[in-house]
Structure 1
Protein backbone atom coordinates (compact mmCIF):
# COMPACT_ATOMS: atom_id res chain seq x y z
CA UNK A 1 0.00 0.00 0.00
CA UNK A 2 1.30 3.47 -0.87
CA UNK A 3 2.04 6.14 1.69
CA UNK A 4 -0.27 9.14 1.84
CA UNK A 5 0.94 12.15 -0.16
CA UNK A 6 0.85 15.78 0.99
CA UNK A 7 -2.16 17.70 -0.33
CA UNK A 8 -0.12 20.10 -2.56
CA UNK A 9 1.40 17.28 -4.68
CA UNK A 10 -0.16 17.06 -8.13
CA UNK A 11 0.00 13.74 -9.89
CA UNK A 12 2.19 13.94 -12.98
CA UNK A 13 3.95 17.19 -11.99
CA UNK A 14 7.76 17.04 -12.17
CA UNK A 15 8.63 19.83 -9.73
CA UNK A 16 6.71 21.06 -6.72
CA UNK A 17 5.43 24.61 -7.06
CA UNK A 18 7.98 27.20 -5.93
CA UNK A 19 7.50 28.56 -2.47
CA UNK A 20 7.66 32.30 -1.86
CA UNK A 21 10.61 33.26 0.35
CA UNK A 22 9.56 34.91 3.58
CA UNK A 23 12.76 36.58 4.81
CA UNK A 24 14.77 39.28 3.04
CA UNK A 25 17.84 37.03 2.91
CA UNK A 26 15.86 34.28 1.23
CA UNK A 27 14.49 36.73 -1.34
CA UNK A 28 18.03 37.99 -2.11
CA UNK A 29 19.30 34.45 -2.47
CA UNK A 30 16.42 33.57 -4.79
CA UNK A 31 17.09 36.66 -6.90
CA UNK A 32 20.77 35.75 -7.13
CA UNK A 33 19.91 32.22 -8.25
CA UNK A 34 17.48 33.58 -10.84
CA UNK A 35 20.17 35.89 -12.22
CA UNK A 36 22.51 32.91 -12.60
CA UNK A 37 19.90 31.18 -14.72
CA UNK A 38 19.69 34.17 -17.11
CA UNK A 39 21.42 33.56 -20.43
CA UNK A 40 23.24 36.87 -20.78
CA UNK A 41 22.68 37.16 -24.56
CA UNK A 42 20.98 40.51 -24.16
CA UNK A 43 22.48 43.96 -24.69
CA UNK A 44 23.64 44.16 -21.07
CA UNK A 45 26.55 41.77 -21.70
CA UNK A 46 28.71 44.18 -23.75
CA UNK A 47 29.05 46.94 -21.12
CA UNK A 48 30.01 44.36 -18.49
CA UNK A 49 32.89 43.23 -20.70
CA UNK A 50 34.13 46.81 -20.96
CA UNK A 51 33.82 47.29 -17.22
CA UNK A 52 35.91 44.17 -16.63
CA UNK A 53 38.54 45.43 -19.08
CA UNK A 54 38.65 48.82 -17.35
CA UNK A 55 39.06 47.14 -13.98
CA UNK A 56 41.88 45.00 -15.37
CA UNK A 57 43.65 48.07 -16.77
CA UNK A 58 43.38 49.86 -13.41
CA UNK A 59 44.75 46.83 -11.59
CA UNK A 60 47.69 46.52 -13.99
CA UNK A 61 48.52 50.21 -13.57
CA UNK A 62 48.39 49.83 -9.80
CA UNK A 63 50.86 46.97 -10.02
CA UNK A 64 53.15 48.99 -12.26
CA UNK A 65 53.12 46.45 -15.08
CA UNK A 66 52.61 49.17 -17.69
CA UNK A 67 55.80 51.04 -16.71
CA UNK A 68 58.95 50.32 -18.70
CA UNK A 69 61.87 48.93 -16.73
CA UNK A 70 64.79 51.27 -16.06
CA UNK A 71 67.86 51.01 -18.28
CA UNK A 72 70.10 49.99 -15.41
CA UNK A 73 67.95 46.94 -14.65
CA UNK A 74 67.91 45.89 -18.29
CA UNK A 75 71.67 46.29 -18.63
CA UNK A 76 72.23 44.30 -15.45
CA UNK A 77 70.04 41.52 -16.81
CA UNK A 78 72.04 41.46 -20.04
CA UNK A 79 75.25 41.34 -18.03
CA UNK A 80 74.03 38.34 -16.08
CA UNK A 81 73.03 36.59 -19.29
CA UNK A 82 76.50 37.11 -20.73
CA UNK A 83 78.74 34.78 -18.80
CA UNK A 84 82.44 35.26 -19.13
CA UNK A 85 84.06 32.83 -21.46
CA UNK A 86 86.92 31.62 -19.30
CA UNK A 87 88.78 28.35 -19.61
CA UNK A 88 88.43 26.70 -16.22
CA UNK A 89 90.78 23.93 -15.20
CA UNK A 90 89.01 20.93 -13.69
CA UNK A 91 91.82 20.55 -11.17
CA UNK A 92 90.93 24.02 -9.81
CA UNK A 93 87.28 23.01 -9.59
CA UNK A 94 88.24 19.85 -7.71
CA UNK A 95 90.45 21.91 -5.36
CA UNK A 96 87.60 24.30 -4.50
CA UNK A 97 85.15 21.43 -4.07
CA UNK A 98 87.52 19.66 -1.69
CA UNK A 99 88.80 22.63 0.30
CA UNK A 100 85.71 24.86 0.47
CA UNK A 101 83.12 22.09 0.58
CA UNK A 102 81.23 23.42 -2.46
CA UNK A 103 79.35 21.71 -5.26
CA UNK A 104 81.01 21.55 -8.67
CA UNK A 105 78.60 24.10 -10.13
CA UNK A 106 79.20 26.59 -7.29
CA UNK A 107 82.96 26.11 -7.58
CA UNK A 108 82.80 26.64 -11.34
CA UNK A 109 80.74 29.84 -10.91
CA UNK A 110 83.18 31.11 -8.29
CA UNK A 111 86.14 30.47 -10.58
CA UNK A 112 84.37 32.08 -13.53
CA UNK A 113 83.69 35.18 -11.44
CA UNK A 114 87.39 35.44 -10.58
CA UNK A 115 88.87 34.82 -14.04
CA UNK A 116 89.70 31.16 -13.31
CA UNK A 117 92.20 32.13 -10.60
CA UNK A 118 91.83 29.61 -7.78
CA UNK A 119 93.68 31.76 -5.23
CA UNK A 120 91.47 34.82 -5.91
CA UNK A 121 88.35 32.64 -5.78
CA UNK A 122 89.30 31.04 -2.45
CA UNK A 123 90.25 34.41 -0.94
CA UNK A 124 86.97 35.96 -2.07
CA UNK A 125 84.98 33.02 -0.69
CA UNK A 126 86.70 33.15 2.70
CA UNK A 127 86.49 36.93 3.09
CA UNK A 128 82.93 37.30 1.76
CA UNK A 129 80.50 38.77 4.30
CA UNK A 130 77.95 36.34 5.64
Structure 2
Protein backbone atom coordinates (compact mmCIF):
# COMPACT_ATOMS: atom_id res chain seq x y z
CA UNK A 1 0.00 0.00 0.00
CA UNK A 2 1.26 3.47 -0.86
CA UNK A 3 2.28 5.83 1.89
CA UNK A 4 0.60 9.24 2.06
CA UNK A 5 2.70 12.07 0.72
CA UNK A 6 3.31 15.36 2.51
CA UNK A 7 1.03 18.24 1.51
CA UNK A 8 3.92 20.28 0.11
CA UNK A 9 4.62 17.73 -2.63
CA UNK A 10 2.43 17.72 -5.71
CA UNK A 11 2.11 14.75 -7.99
CA UNK A 12 4.08 15.21 -11.20
CA UNK A 13 6.05 18.18 -9.87
CA UNK A 14 9.69 18.07 -10.87
CA UNK A 15 12.44 18.65 -8.38
CA UNK A 16 14.08 22.08 -8.59
CA UNK A 17 17.24 22.21 -10.65
CA UNK A 18 20.61 22.83 -9.10
CA UNK A 19 21.71 26.47 -9.22
CA UNK A 20 23.63 27.31 -12.35
CA UNK A 21 26.97 29.06 -12.52
CA UNK A 22 26.48 32.32 -14.41
CA UNK A 23 23.86 35.04 -14.19
CA UNK A 24 22.96 34.46 -17.84
CA UNK A 25 22.27 30.79 -17.13
CA UNK A 26 20.08 31.73 -14.17
CA UNK A 27 18.09 34.17 -16.32
CA UNK A 28 17.58 31.51 -18.98
CA UNK A 29 16.50 28.97 -16.37
CA UNK A 30 14.05 31.45 -14.85
CA UNK A 31 12.59 32.21 -18.28
CA UNK A 32 12.16 28.52 -19.04
CA UNK A 33 10.53 27.81 -15.69
CA UNK A 34 8.12 30.72 -16.15
CA UNK A 35 6.80 29.12 -19.34
CA UNK A 36 5.14 26.35 -17.34
CA UNK A 37 4.01 28.52 -14.46
CA UNK A 38 0.26 29.19 -14.34
CA UNK A 39 -0.67 32.84 -14.87
CA UNK A 40 -3.75 34.94 -14.23
CA UNK A 41 -4.47 34.90 -17.96
CA UNK A 42 -4.98 31.13 -17.91
CA UNK A 43 -8.54 31.71 -16.69
CA UNK A 44 -9.32 33.75 -19.78
CA UNK A 45 -7.48 31.55 -22.29
CA UNK A 46 -9.45 32.90 -25.24
CA UNK A 47 -8.73 36.55 -24.49
CA UNK A 48 -5.47 38.11 -25.61
CA UNK A 49 -4.14 41.59 -24.98
CA UNK A 50 -3.91 43.03 -28.49
CA UNK A 51 -3.29 46.60 -29.50
CA UNK A 52 -5.98 46.85 -32.17
CA UNK A 53 -4.68 50.12 -33.59
CA UNK A 54 -1.20 48.68 -34.12
CA UNK A 55 -2.72 45.53 -35.56
CA UNK A 56 -4.80 47.56 -38.01
CA UNK A 57 -1.73 49.52 -39.14
CA UNK A 58 0.22 46.31 -39.62
CA UNK A 59 -2.59 44.79 -41.66
CA UNK A 60 -2.72 47.89 -43.89
CA UNK A 61 1.00 47.48 -44.55
CA UNK A 62 0.55 43.98 -45.88
CA UNK A 63 -0.01 43.52 -49.56
CA UNK A 64 -1.10 40.39 -51.34
CA UNK A 65 -0.38 39.94 -55.01
CA UNK A 66 -2.95 38.11 -57.01
CA UNK A 67 -1.43 35.94 -59.67
CA UNK A 68 -2.88 37.01 -62.95
CA UNK A 69 -3.48 34.47 -65.69
CA UNK A 70 -1.22 36.38 -68.11
CA UNK A 71 1.98 35.31 -66.31
CA UNK A 72 2.09 31.64 -67.20
CA UNK A 73 5.35 29.74 -67.15
CA UNK A 74 6.61 28.68 -70.51
CA UNK A 75 6.82 25.00 -71.20
CA UNK A 76 10.34 24.49 -72.50
CA UNK A 77 11.76 21.13 -73.46
CA UNK A 78 15.10 20.75 -71.73
CA UNK A 79 17.57 18.13 -72.93
CA UNK A 80 19.32 16.16 -70.20
CA UNK A 81 22.57 16.33 -72.15
CA UNK A 82 22.33 20.16 -72.19
CA UNK A 83 21.84 20.21 -68.43
CA UNK A 84 24.88 17.99 -67.82
CA UNK A 85 26.95 20.04 -70.30
CA UNK A 86 26.16 23.29 -68.50
CA UNK A 87 26.63 21.73 -65.06
CA UNK A 88 30.06 20.35 -65.91
CA UNK A 89 31.41 23.28 -67.96
CA UNK A 90 30.10 26.10 -65.76
CA UNK A 91 30.63 24.10 -62.55
CA UNK A 92 27.13 24.78 -61.26
CA UNK A 93 24.47 22.46 -59.80
CA UNK A 94 22.12 20.76 -62.22
CA UNK A 95 19.12 22.69 -60.84
CA UNK A 96 20.84 26.01 -61.62
CA UNK A 97 21.72 24.71 -65.12
CA UNK A 98 18.09 23.73 -65.65
CA UNK A 99 16.93 27.18 -64.54
CA UNK A 100 19.39 28.83 -66.94
CA UNK A 101 18.12 26.70 -69.82
CA UNK A 102 14.49 27.49 -69.01
CA UNK A 103 15.25 31.20 -68.94
CA UNK A 104 16.92 30.98 -72.34
CA UNK A 105 14.21 28.81 -73.94
CA UNK A 106 16.47 25.76 -74.05
CA UNK A 107 19.25 27.47 -76.03
CA UNK A 108 22.59 26.32 -74.62
CA UNK A 109 24.68 29.13 -76.09
CA UNK A 110 22.28 31.78 -74.82
CA UNK A 111 22.29 30.14 -71.37
CA UNK A 112 26.09 30.19 -71.23
CA UNK A 113 26.28 33.82 -72.35
CA UNK A 114 23.62 34.87 -69.81
CA UNK A 115 25.59 33.13 -67.06
CA UNK A 116 28.89 34.73 -68.06
CA UNK A 117 27.73 38.29 -68.73
CA UNK A 118 26.79 40.39 -65.72
User: What is the TM-score when the length of structure 2 is the normalising length?
Assistant: 0.50
1:91 aligns with 2:81: yes
> Measured at CA, do residues 37 and 105 of structure 1 come closer, stay the same or move farther in structure 2, by a change above 3 Å?
closer
Q: Which runs of 5+ in 2 are unaligned?
A: 1-6, 8-37
1:116 to 91, 106, 112: 106
1:107 aligns with 2:101: no
Residue-pair matches, total: 80
**More helix by proportion, 1 or 2?**
1
Higher gyration radius (CA): 1
1:61 to 56, 62, 78: 56
CA RMSD after TM alignment: 3.6
Q: Which runs of 5+ in 1 are unaligned?
A: 1-13, 15-35
User: What is the TM-score when the length of structure 1 is the normalising length?
Assistant: 0.46
Give the 4+ runs in structure 1 shifted more than 6 A: 36-41
